[in-house]
Amino acid sequence: MSRFFTTGSDSESESSLSGEELVTKPVGGNYGKQPLLLSEDEEDTKRVVRSAKDKRFEELTNLIRTIRNAMKIRDVTKCLEEFELLGKAYGKAKSIVDKEGVPRFYIRILADLEDYLNELWEDKEGKKKMNKNNAKALSTLRQKIRKYNRDFESHITNYKQNPEQSADEDAEKNEEDSEGSSDEDEDDEGVSAAAFLKKKSEAPSGESRKFLKKMEDEDEDSEDSEDDEDWDTGSTSSDSDSEEEEGKQTVLASRFLKKAPTTEEDKKAAEKKREDKAKKKHDRKSKRLDEEEEDNEGGEWERVRGGVPLVKEKPKMFAKGTEITHAVVIKKLNEILQARGKKGTDRAAQIELLQLLVQIASENNLGEGVIVKIKFNIIASLYDYNPNLATYMKPEMWQKCLDCINELMDILFANPNIFVGENILEEGENLHNADQPLRVRGCILTLVERMDEEFTKIMQNTDPHSQEYVEHLKDEAQVCAIIERVQRYLEEKGTTEEICRIYLRRILHTYYKFDYKAHQRQLTPPEGSSKSEQDQAENEGEDSAVLMERLCKYIYAKDRTDRIRTCAILCHIYHHALHSRWYQARDLMLMSHLQDNIQHADPPVQILYNRTMVQLGICAFRQGLTKDAHNALLDIQSSGRAKELLGQGLLLRSLQERNQEQEKVERRRQVPFHLHINLELLECVYLVSAMLLEIPYMAAHESDARRRMISKQFHHQLRVGERQPLLGPPESMREHVVAASKAMKMGDWKTCHSFIINEKMNGKVWDLFPEADKVRTMLVRKIQEESLRTYLFTYSSVYDSISMETLSDMFELDLPTVHSIISKMIINEELMASLDQPTQTVVMHRTEPTAQQNLALQLAEKLGSLVENNERVFDHKQGTYGGYFRDQKDGYRKNEGYMRRGGYRQQQSQTAY
């Protein structure tokens, strides 16, 4: 565009260009009074007159170009800085955007940037290799762009549905960018001027047409240029002179109108210019492609990651011609290990180097001692691959670890002359002298314990409801096999302490598993087979009970640390309870006195103790011992935090009380899903036990004002059921228990039975027991007995006597059982009655107080407590304060013989010795 200085006011320049109608100035205006002065320096510099829209959009375009360059080199920090500047620039251009609409290039960068950040976020490997600033900027920018894009959601959706138009425009723009900065500026100015003139000057005046015609004539003589909007300096100055001579003033912008061809020749000329321009662009594009092809002849382009340049070739372990000896290999091993743990060390490459070193050692027959030492370091490097404690091993690394440990154990079993241990010093190692036993520093037990911990972490961090969890769980067979191999190795060469530690690992993988084979052998012993066949079948696999007994007894006798012995006792009790050996489990728990000091143990041991107590309570319930079951489950269930106490998850309300670090520690303590105890089964067992204890007790002490609650949680469920305005059929397990309790309270055992044992409850609870039918039979018997007791407590005042045969038929119990229940009630003074043996009837004594007598007794108790309170108030007024009385001489003295009721002071005579 031509150079031009206006002599009008500066404030009018931008507003006149931004959108007002073109008007002609009268002769005698400011333009006519002051001549246009152009110096030589000013002729050398081009002055560009642009609208506010072009200025703002150019600023946005430059920022977008910078962001795209930063995206190419994965510089997220630069993207964040430029995005903040882009938001500010867009805010400045808001008034223009409101008029013109949101530019498409702005929508495109928002959509592309969000997709780019999402791609980076999903690339886990790439995120790990980012530096700290880029990783932090990625998280911040991702949140900002998602929040910012909410305002442009509809625009971005439209853009993603039809991106072709924008892609074509950008391709043209990129081509023009490659031509050079001058061409780009000229094209931008031409487009903006054309758009400006199209909107503002659709019908120029007569003088303007004359002026345009003159400009066209002069322009035909001038040199052609690629941009239609530019004239050279000579034509511009001649135009100014002619304007002054004619004395006709026009608006400044009208002098720079794009030529509007009027004749056929002009149209042909303009079309020819456009074709020439398109041809030049095509030539430039083809030339650039040819250059790229020439560059590509040397080889294909490869996309590389930013940061440290990758080493494609494997580093040479040893120089060519180097003699491979023990000293050289150990020296190279130490060099590799020195880089371990340092910042910037590629852990995967380090593992590959160690594996390559093993191959070199085996190819050169350097002996098993060197190979064992390198294997120890390979396994340690595999464990160190994830520096963070919370992260777990990848499947490929985990499989490598298992294979490497198995290979190490094969070498140790094949070479009994190799001794490994933590107490062997580096200086005392013997790696190649075959005359003496080979000694290698390392602890196989520590590696196996770490392997077991890694397996637990893998199971903790896998979705338990996915097929992946099942696949990982299959690896437990390999883990148990490795532990058994290490156990056999340490039983030959290990110390007592090491044997106790590996025995505990074996116990921890055994105690929670139900031995179905042993259970089946107990139920159906083979009768037709011979004795030798029976012995062979029994010896095929050791029963888990015998195995646990052997391992635990060794730990009880040999272990010197309280923790291992405590864990072994708890696992032993859990295993007994799981297999319904109630009395052995109970006796072991009582003899160990663990309940006295378990609060001083570390949290994992406390979780194991809670799991053991829960399993003990469920075992007691299966045996029909409802009182023992209730007592064992009371502490866990009354806390309302059973899920957390059993290590099966964190409660939401508890998360608010912890900081982030404490939460991570708590999550690492969680028990894997395949060890979980069903919480609904646990709660059902507790509530049913509470119902069988609480309902008869409530019936017996219905009029007692001081009766105690056996189970607060059960009473809470009853109150919730009573508060419901509309009682429908029960749906949840709790509603079933509440409905059964109400039926039992009325002595209706059949309704109670139908609520406790039905298809829905069987599917949720009872079918989960190993011997479900046996449990259901026991439960029916308990409901009948407790319903009979409740019936007698409730309706004893109605009967003078009642036949035991009637009670037997009513509750479907045999006569001896009814006789036994009533006899116990009479002996315990729960029922005031006597048995008439010849007639088999129960004769009631009617000693129970009536309702009026009960009210009188309650009134007497309340009056007694009121009198006692009055006496205490009277004592305070008299000057007796909590065991001190007022003395006029000595002030307050302690009253040794003070009695609480009445404040009586007992004086004791003292005898002198």
Report pLDDT digits (tens) over 636-661.
Answer: 988 888 888 998 888 776 556 777 88
Q: What is the pLDDT of residues 769-810, one digit of tens each?
A: 888 889 999 999 999 999 999 998 888 888 888 888 888 888
* In the predicted structure, residue 212 carries a pLDDT above the cut 90: no
DSSP H stretches of helix in 254-323: 264-296
* In the predicted structure, residue 153 carries a pLDDT above the cut 80: yes
DSSP H stretches of helix in 559-602: 562-578, 582-592, 594-597
Is 608 in contact with 571 (CB distance < 8 Å)?
yes
Strand bridging mode 418-421 / 438-441: parallel
Arithmetic mean of pLDDT, 734-746: 90
Q: How many whole angstroms separate alpha carbon 583 and alpha carbon 619?
A: 10
Q: What is the pLDDT of residues 816-849, one digit of tens each?
A: 999 999 999 889 888 888 888 888 888 888 666 6
**684: nearest Cα among 644, 647, 717, 726:** 717
pLDDT at 839: 87
Is 418 in contact with 438 (CB distance < 8 Å)?
yes
Out of 288-292, 673-677, 682-686, which region has the weakest mean confidence (pLDDT)?
288-292
* DSSP per position, 701-754: TTT-TTPPPS-HHHHHHHHHHHH-SS-----SHHHHHHHHHHHHHTT-HHHHHH
Arithmetic mean of pLDDT, 115-123: 89
Coil, strand, or helix at residue 417?
coil
* DSSP per position, 129-177: HS-HHHHHHHHHHHHHHHHHGGGGHHHHHHHHH--HHHHHHHHHHHHHH
Q: How many whole angstroms separate alpha carbon 692 and alpha carbon 786?
A: 6
Strand bridging mode 884-887 / 891-894: antiparallel
Out of 237-251, 700-714, 798-812, which region has the weakest mean confidence (pLDDT)?
237-251
Domain edges within the chain? 52-163, 323-494, 678-844
pLDDT at 659: 78
- Return the structure tokens found at 383: 């464990």
pLDDT at 504: 93
pTM: 0.60
* DSSP per position, 707-718: PPPS-HHHHHHH
* In the predicted structure, residue 404 carries a pLDDT above the cut 60: yes
Out of 229-233, 454-458, 568-572, 612-616, which region has the weakest mean confidence (pLDDT)?
229-233
In terms of C-beta density within 10 A (0-12 exposed, 13-18 middle, 19 or more buried), how is residue 525 classed?
Answer: exposed
pLDDT at 455: 92
Three-class HEC string of 756-802: HCCHHHHHHCHHHCCCHHHHHHHHHHHHHHHHHHHHHHHHCCCCCEE
- Measured CA to CA in angstroms, residue 398 lies from 365, 500, 841 at distances of 29, 26, 74
pLDDT at 297: 46
Helix, strand and coil in the chain, % to nearest 5: 65, 5, 30
Q: What is the pLDDT of residues 348-401, one digit of tens each?
A: 888 888 888 888 888 888 888 888 888 888 888 888 887 777 778 888 888 989
pLDDT at 654: 58
Classify each residue of 120-144 as buried b or exposed e, where b means 16 or more C-beta atoms within 10 Å of its C-beta. Answer: beeeeebeeebeeebbebbeebbee
Where does the pLDDT of residue 187 fall: very low under 50, low under 70, confident under 90, or very high at 90 and above? Answer: very low
Out of 16-20, 107-111, 340-344, 506-510, which region has the weakest mean confidence (pLDDT)?
16-20
Residue with more model confidence, 39 or 829: 829
One-letter amino acid for residue 11 of the chain: S
The alpha carbon torsion through 180, 181, 183, 184 (nearest 10 deg) reads 110
Q: How many whole angstroms separate alpha carbon 234 and alpha carbon 434?
A: 101
Number of other residues whose CB lies within 10 A of the CB of residue 722: 10
pLDDT at 315: 53
Query: If one looks up domain 678-844 in CATH, what number appears?
Result: 1.10.10.10
Q: How many whole angstroms separate alpha carbon 787 and alpha carbon 583?
A: 28
pLDDT at 887: 47
**186: nearest Cα among 223, 216, 229, 222:** 229
In terms of C-beta density within 10 A (0-12 exposed, 13-18 middle, 19 or more buried), how is residue 183 classed?
Answer: middle
* DSSP state at residue 426: S
Q: How many whole angstroms separate alpha carbon 707 and alpha carbon 697?
A: 9
* DSSP per position, 432-498: S-TTS-EEEE--HHHHHHHHHHHHHHHHHTS-TTSHHHHHHHHTHHHHHHHHHHHHHHHHHH--HHH
- Return the structure tokens found at 662: 């404490």
* In the predicted structure, residue 889 carries a pLDDT above the cut 70: no
Sign of the Cα torsion 237, 239, 243, 249 reads negative
Arithmetic mean of pLDDT, 583-597: 91
Q: What is the pLDDT of residues 343-359, one digit of tens each?
A: 777 778 888 888 888 88
Q: What is the pLDDT of residues 286-323, one digit of tens each?
A: 667 665 554 544 445 555 555 544 444 455 566 666 77
Residue with more model confidence, 150 or 245: 150
Residue with more model confidence, 249 or 789: 789
Give the Cα-Cα-Cα angle 604, 610, 611 (nearest 5 degrees).
Answer: 90
Arithmetic mean of pLDDT, 391-415: 88
* DSSP per position, 310-342: P--SPPPSS-TT----HHHHHHHHHHHHHTTT-
Give the Cα-Cα-Cα angle 864, 865, 870 (nearest 5 degrees).
Answer: 100
Out of 3-17, 423-437, 641-655, 773-787, which region has the weakest mean confidence (pLDDT)?
3-17
**402: nearest Cα among 469, 350, 450, 352:** 450
Is 79 in contact with 34 (CB distance < 8 Å)?
no
Coil, strand, or helix at residue 257?
coil
Q: How many whole angstroms separate alpha carbon 557 and alpha carbon 73?
A: 66
Residue 876: which H helix or E strand, with range? helix 851-878
Q: How many whole angstroms separate alpha carbon 676 and alpha carbon 764?
A: 16
One-letter amino acid for residue 595 of the chain: Q
The alpha carbon torsion through 198, 203, 206, 211 (nearest 10 deg) reads 0
Q: What is the pLDDT of residues 126-135, one digit of tens each?
A: 888 888 888 8
Question: What would you measure as the largest C-alpha separation in the chain, in angstroms?
Answer: 149
Arithmetic mean of pLDDT, 249-255: 48
Q: Which residue has the tokens 């859990």?
A: 574
Out of 12-26, 554-568, 722-736, 773-787, which region has the weakest mean confidence (pLDDT)?
12-26
Where does the pLDDT of residue 11 fall: very low under 50, low under 70, confident under 90, or very high at 90 and above? Answer: very low
- Return the structure tokens found at 16: 């006149």
pLDDT at 175: 44
Is 449 in contact with 505 (CB distance < 8 Å)?
yes
pLDDT at 705: 59
- Return the structure tokens found at 847: 């000693």
**84: nearest Cα among 12, 140, 22:** 140
User: Residue 652 — left, alpha, or beta (φ > 0 → left; ψ -120 to 50 → alpha)?
Assistant: alpha
pLDDT at 218: 44
Coil, strand, or helix at residue 722?
helix
What are the backbone dihedrals phi and psi of residue 441, each rounded to the nearest 5 degrees, phi first? -80, 130
Number of other residues whose CB lies within 10 A of the CB of residue 562: 12
* In the predicted structure, residue 622 carries a pLDDT above the cut 80: yes
Is 251 in contact with 23 (CB distance < 8 Å)?
yes
pLDDT at 47: 63
- Return the structure tokens found at 608: 């194991």
Q: How many whole angstroms separate alpha carbon 559 and alpha carbon 909?
A: 60
In terms of average pLDDT, the best of 12-16, 184-188, 870-874, 895-899 is: 870-874
Q: How many whole angstroms separate alpha carbon 578 and alpha carbon 521?
A: 17
Mean pLDDT of the chain: 76
- Return the structure tokens found at 500: 């106790």
